[in-house]
Structure 1
Amino acid sequence: MSPRYLYKYRPFATACDIERAQRIVCDSRIFFAPPCSFNDPFDSRPAFTFEAPVDEMKAYYRRLCARRVPHLTEHEVEAEIERIFADPDTDLRAPQGQSRIQDLHSRALGQEVGVLCLSSVRDHILMWSHYADCHRGICLEFDAGTDFLSRARPIGYEESRMLINPFRDRDEEMAEKTFLMKAAHWHYEGEWRLIRYGGPGEEAFTPAALTGIVLGALASEDTERRVRAWAREHETPLRLARAYPDQQAFRLHVRALED
């Protein structure tokens, strides 16, 4: 089931950090990041397997030709397949071909895909530490039921890497294994993602999708003043709150800020 709210942790350390946060709150525009910027070297960098009989490989290349060069005749397609198999740089049975396809895949990710990473939790100590400037930043609250977040999908956390087999996996399966699978170590993040197939960049959303802002436990008075000023500019009311460390246990409490 989808959570009621999804959260975006944001740092507040640099002028760029503050500007991006302001654009989210005041301009209703949010940045979809390139996968190459992620802090996990396995994230969106899938592993491949190329195991398949030759007739299955040829069927894959025929489908590829039909999509990319539909004007070719059947004879021309077969000739193109033979050329692919004869060249180690394109033959996926050869190490050179396998390495090349993985490099092309990685480069395409940086140019063709942007990702918005969100969390289903707003009070996780490590999330504040890693993504919100060591508890000095903010956490933005979004209504998960709005149209803007209708495309959000949960991350699957796995003990072993999911292998992509280009000869057998459908496009949807390859996309899921690439963008929606992470190591089990990251399960605490409770991550959900929106994928933008147009490259990294900003995307507009309905102002009502943003419903609140939580200040970190170590957020400064200046940060609070900025956030309050932004909230007054927002088209719809925003719930403002602050995280507080528990006095006896390793946990955070989120309490509403007084006007």
Structure 2
Amino acid sequence: MEVPKRLYKYRAFSALTVDLLVSDKIYYADPASFNDPLDTKPCINPDLPVDQLEHTLRILIENRISAEMKAAAKAIMYRGPKTIDHIHRHSKRQADRIIADIAYNATNPEYSAISPNPQIKLLTYQLQIELIQAYGKGVLSLAARNSCPLMWSHYGDQHHGLCIGYEVPLNVQENLHKVAYGGSRLIDASKVAAMLNADDAARKEVDASVLLRKAQDWRYEKEWRLIGRRGLSDSPLELTDVTFGTRCIDSVKHTIIKALEGRDKPIKMYEMREIYGTFKLKRFALNEQELTVSYPHRARSAAECFDQLE
């Protein structure tokens, strides 16, 4: 799959946006914060018998609890074989408890009225929860185009914001993933089980289902995703340009220009304009000299020019 040479991030003007630009950082967002509640929310197809569903769920639970406890132990500088053994035993007990609770709850007549096999339904539901929690990484969403009116409206503060252009270095291309639009949210439980058994093909399929699939209606975004640790991070991409929206005010443009002035590798500045008689946008190079002549502005300067006449 060919990765675009450049990708774009639409943003509103804010303190965080300025920080990302001047510090050359990117922000890996928690998928739970995405505007589409169906994004990164796969559904498990229970194509395994109860005992194998329980086994798959057990591994996910034990892995999660073990990782949480190891992080806590590291923070308080607990280490050694006793700590590892305690984590192992506690993780197993918690998994036993959750699976036992599911088996007990499945005997409730209310569940039987809803599903012909309530135990499978409850196991499937818990599998979905654990699978999503297993993907604790963040996502940087990028677009293939800088001139999409819908993207400017939805992510560029209704054209008041800006669009950051990045060049994609060769060593980053393998970590970029193209979002697939449409299809099903279903992923077979057997694929999850195979992934946990170190099956690389199954892992790629589950990864795509969890992180890289959206509804067909979002296809206008032409989205690519970079996966990383949640939060701020030094950018592995090469910042190349900034494009201002059609409604972006001159003082914001001036602020960004001055903030990036003197950078080791200069940033090109553009502005979006309407193409007369169409619904399309096109970007043009920004006349930085003309823009910065008027800023910073002092309101009293004009009035003081007439002081001597009094």
TM-score over 0.5 for the pair: yes
Structure-1 separation of matches of 2:97 and 2:208: 31
CA–CA distance in structure 1, aligned partners of residues 172 and 262 of structure 2: 21
Aligned counterpart, 1:125: 149
Q: Does 1:20 align with 2:25?
A: no
| TM-aligned CA deviation for residue 31 of structure 1 | 1.0
Distance 1:66 1:99, change over 3 A: closer
Kindly provide the amino acid, as one letter, of the partner of residue 168 in structure 1: K
| Cα shift readout 1:203-259 (whole Å, capped 9, x = no counterpart) | 1025x7000000001000111111111221432111100000111100001001123
* Aligned ranges 1:152-231 → 2 under 5 Å: 152-158=176-182, 160-169=183-192, 170=195, 171-196=203-228, 198=229, 200-205=230-235, 209-231=238-260
Alignment of 1:12-161 (within 5 A): 12=13, 18-53=14-49, 57=53, 60=56, 87-88=101-102, 93-107=119-133, 109=135, 112-145=136-169, 147-148=171-172, 150-158=174-182, 160-161=183-184
SS of equivalent to 1:177: helix
Structure-2 change in CA distance of 1:139 and 1:94 (3 Å)? same
CA distance in 1, matches of 2:98, 2:133: 21
**Percent identical:** 28
Q: Which residue in the other structure is 1:6 paired with? A: 7
What CA deviation, in whole Å up to 9, does each residue of 1:94-117 have, x standing for no partner? 3322222323344555xx221100
Distance apart, 1:36 and its partner CA = 1.1
Query: Equivalents in 2 of 1:67, 1:33: separation in Å?
Result: 23
- Correspondence for 2:69: none
Equivalent residue for 1:241, pick from 262, 266, 270: 270
Distance in 1 (CA, whole Å) between partners of 2:158 and 2:95 is 54
Distance change >3 Å, CA 146–CA 138, structure 1 → 2: farther
| Structure 1 Cα separation of the partners of residues 4 and 269 of structure 2 | 20
The 1:138/1:118 distance shift into structure 2, 3 A limit, reads same
Task: Tell me which of 287, 292, 297 is aligned to 1:258.
Answer: 287
> Counterparts of 2:133 and 2:96 in 1: how far apart (Å)?
26
Cα distance change of structure 1 residues 209 and 146 upon mapping to structure 2, 3 Å threshold: farther
Q: Cα distance 1:36–1:164, how it changes in 2: closer, same or farther (>3 A)? A: same
Q: Tell me how many residue pairs correspond in the alignment.
A: 241
Give the deviation of 1:174 after TM superposition.
Answer: 1.4
Closer/same/farther in 2, CA of residues 132 and 203 from structure 1, 3 Å limit: same
Alignment partner of 2:260: what SS?
A: helix
Give the structure with the higher percent helix: 2
Q: Which structure has the bigger radius of gyration?
A: 2
Separation in 2 of the partners of 1:126 and 1:143?
Answer: 23
Q: How far apart, CA to CA, are the structure 2 residues paired with 1:34 and 1:134?
A: 23
Q: Tell me the alpha carbon deviations over residues 118-144 of structure 1, each in whole angstroms, 9 at most, x when there is no partner.
A: 000000000000001000000000002
